[in-house]
Structure 1
Amino acid sequence: MKKTSLLLSLFTSVMVVQAQKTLAEAETYATVDQAVGNIAFTHDGQLVYSHHPFFAPEIRVVKFDKKTNTTTPFPNLEWNTPRATDDNYLSNVLGIRNDENGVVWMIDMAQRDNVTPKIVGWNTKTDALERIYYLPKSAVPAIAQPNDMVVDTKHGYFIIADEGIGNGGDGSKAAFIIVDMKTGKTRRVLEGTRTTKPENTPTVINGKHLAVNGKDLFIGNDGITADANFEYIYYGPLNGPKIYRIKTVDLVNEALTDADLDSRIETYSDKPNNGGMSIDKEGNLYLTALETKSVAVVMAKDRSVKTMIQDENMVWPDGVSYNHVDGYMYVSAAQVNHGAVFNNGKDKSTKPFYIFRFKPVVEGVYFR
């Protein structure tokens, strides 16, 4: 074989291998000036997202206009304006989800202002407040960091994943927070147990450990989603090699103790250190893989882990959500690891911040 033919063959082989690395193409949907946290959608498919609270944004949540590439405060400026007269504003928001009724639900962790943690629901069909659920200290202690949630309208519960790293928490008391949609009753379950607390799998990005003052940061219960019928809750600590699942009816059952719940938890699959989690109608799980600038997928057919998309600009992929109008999964890139606390006091994040989208394996589940 001639040298040129050999080189061409090798080049073609490399290109084929590279093409097989991911199951889909990552499309840059938008570039914006502030870090994007979690993503949700209005009833007609407009993009709503939290500005990542790690960077203390002035406007907590925004709606994005693709035509003009601009944002407006969501649900309005008043709700994004702190004040001393009442608690009815957004203090510190990361977790944001929409339900099938067009309501966007936002978790206010309330760590920036002296207000009560809460879940705020805004009806995007009527452009009006749906309801506020205030979260008591018994369920959200000082070390809590309620990060993400499932909005289970079938059984009538918010199921919140609490990372356990608020106000100096080390993740060891990570938990679930269960909120009854009808009564507002709130409970804390599985605190500091084997599937909610982090394991010793440090976050390492480009060879650098995610650490504060030289100490690795370990984050507990983080990514969470539910299947299309709300039969199972899928979850796992950010720092941990496994995804777990439990039947929803068990997790919300007040008669079951933590020991009872633990015995009903199934180790579902392997996973990378991950942030957000979503799912499609066949049960394939989509996870933001922090260390590899990618979104991984756990295939329902055999629970194998594959790379769905990957992009050099996908630095700290955080939230991943499905848009029921255009059929794409959307994912943010928050650059959290470039923040000052992880870089000797210097903020190394750079504009622009990216929002990507991709086609899932099959139709996604949008009301999560």
Structure 2
Amino acid sequence: MSIQAQNKITEAEVFATTDQAVGNITFTNTGDLVYSHHPFFSPENRVMLMDAKTKISQPFPNKAWNTPRTTDDNYLSNVLGIRNDKNGIVWMLDMAQRDNVSPKIVGWNTKTNQLERIYYLPKSIVPEHAQPNDMVVDTKNGYFIIADEGIGNGGDGTSGAFIIVDMKTGKARRLLEGTRTTLPEKTPTVINGKHLAVKGVDLLVGNDGITADANFEYIYYGPLNGTKIYRIKTLDLVNENFTEIELDRKIETYSEKPNNGGMSIDTEGNIYLTALESNSVVVVLAKDKSVKTMIKDPNMVWPDGVSYNHVDGYMYVSAAQVNRGAVFNQGKDLSTKPFYIFRFKPIVEGVSFR
């Protein structure tokens, strides 16, 4: 099947532009955007809130949480993964690679404008080459399910894994590290004929995009560099009684895919993926698992997160320009302002709280 040779289904709309790269996007209960500044570019403010009407942004949840200090670690170090839940809480996955603090999940209650809870991730769960990238916030079963790319601190993707955090107890576990569905394949990222490489070595990224269906029955996921989407029943993945061999047997190969970043889903099970190499978002149709191009735009350079806004009915997608960063271009940052936030109408209503 040719992934590139499909026709567009809908049009991309430029919703807003910013002066810094946007990583992932989520939403408040009133439909305002909460987004991470992509940590690849070491932004001053890690997370921002954009008023959906005025399109004016400010640090989220406030400036203090975006300001590193030595007196305590109640601040955001570097954040990419960010999700909302049905209770109005925005959960931010802090990889903590810029400062000497513990990785953590920070929940901010947007209804009360107060800290909800912090879940700390111990070093044993987030080892040297870990890079917890994105997550599912499963309020039905009570777990955070995190995709770890395995490229932290010079890692080569071979330590890609899952991290499971119990919402009640805070207990964290690392699963399926370096196994067949969390490892990257040898499918290098090639954009406009140029390989995404560091010092001449292709960067291959492990477990990355992740989402859950409307009922939290299945977790869908895959390595960024890989040709397949996999799925596993949520209750199997979080079940502590299964060995890793038993878990692996429960994983299904769901469909083909391009090298992708973010992942989202709609209420009929169509899966939306940011296709890094083709400035586009593709959709895996639930009816036949075929891969179609949903939207495409020349300014959609390194489309990263894709998320559904339950207030206005649009899917939002950022264009982070990661491939233009200095580490991939002999030390020169080739990214250019402005950075784009696009939106488009999904085929049917999206799934809001993931």
TM-score by length of 1: 0.94
1:97-108 alignment, distance < 5 Å:
97-108=83-94
Query: Is 2:31–2:52's contact at 8 Å kept on the other side of the alignment?
Result: no
Secondary structure of 1:69's partner?
A: coil
Query: Match for residue 72 of structure 2?
Result: 86
Q: Distance in 1 between matches of 2:52 and 2:32?
A: 9
Shift of 1:138: 1.3
Query: What amino acid maps onto 1:300 in structure 2?
Result: A
**Which residue number in structure 1 is paired with residue 239 of structure 2?**
253
2:260 matched residue in structure 1: 274
Corresponding letter in the other structure for 1:194: R
Match of 2:140 in 1: 154
- What is residue 74 of structure 1 aligned with on the other side? 60
What letter is aligned with 2:324? H
Among residues 171, 194, 201, which one is paired with 1:185 in the alignment?
Answer: 171
Please give the alpha-carbon distance, in whole angstroms, between the structure 2 residues aligned to 1:176 and 1:62. 27
3-state DSSP class of the match of 2:334?
coil
**Range with greater deviation from structure 2 (318-327 or 66-75):** 66-75
Is 1:316 the equivalent of 2:324?
no
Alignment of 1:1-368 (within 5 A): 21-368=7-354
C-alpha distance in 2, partners of 1:67/1:261? 46
Question: 1 CA distance for matches of 2:95 and 2:285?
Answer: 33
Structure 1 runs of 4+ aligned residues shifted over 2 Å read 65-70
Give, in angstroms, the shift of residue 70 of structure 1. Answer: 2.3
**Secondary structure at 2:307 match in 1:** strand
Deviations 1:73-132 (CA, angstroms, capped at 9, x unpaired): 000001000000111000010000001111000000000000000000001111111100
C-alpha contact (below 8 Å) 2:270/2:283 kept by paired residues: yes
Q: Tell me the matched-pair count.
A: 349
Residue type of the partner of 1:151? V
Q: Secondary structure at the match of 1:344?
A: coil
Larger helix fraction of residues: 1
Partner in structure 2 of residue 16 of structure 1: none
CA contact (8 A) 2:217 2:234 kept: yes
Which residue pairs with 1:11 in the alignment? Answer: none
Tell me the SS of whatever aligns to 1:239.
Answer: coil
Q: CA deviation at 1:68?
A: 3.5
Distance in 1 of aligned mates of 2:63 and 2:297: 34
Matched residue type, 2:290: S
| Deviation per residue, 1:16-54 (Å, 9 max, x gap) | xxxx82111100000110000000001111101000000
Amino acid at match of 2:233: K
Letter in 1 for 2:26: A
Note the alpha carbon deviations across 1:50-79, whole angstroms, 9 max, x for none. 000000000000001244432100000010
- Kindly provide the amino acid, as one letter, of the partner of residue 98 in structure 2: R
Q: Secondary structure at the match of 2:311?
A: coil
The structure with the larger Rg is 1
SS at match of 2:205: coil
How far residue 163 of structure 1 moved from its aligned partner, in angstroms, is: 0.1
Distance 1:88 1:311 in 2: 39
C-alpha distance in structure 2 between counterparts of 1:111 and 1:218, whole Å: 19
Gaps of 5+ in 2: 1-5
* 1:9 paired residue number: none
TM-score, scaled relative to structure 2? 0.98
1:278 partner SS: strand
Specify the code of the residue in structure 2 equivalent to 1:309: I
Deviation at 1:208, TM superposition (A): 0.3
Q: Which runs of 5+ in 1 are unaligned?
A: 1-19
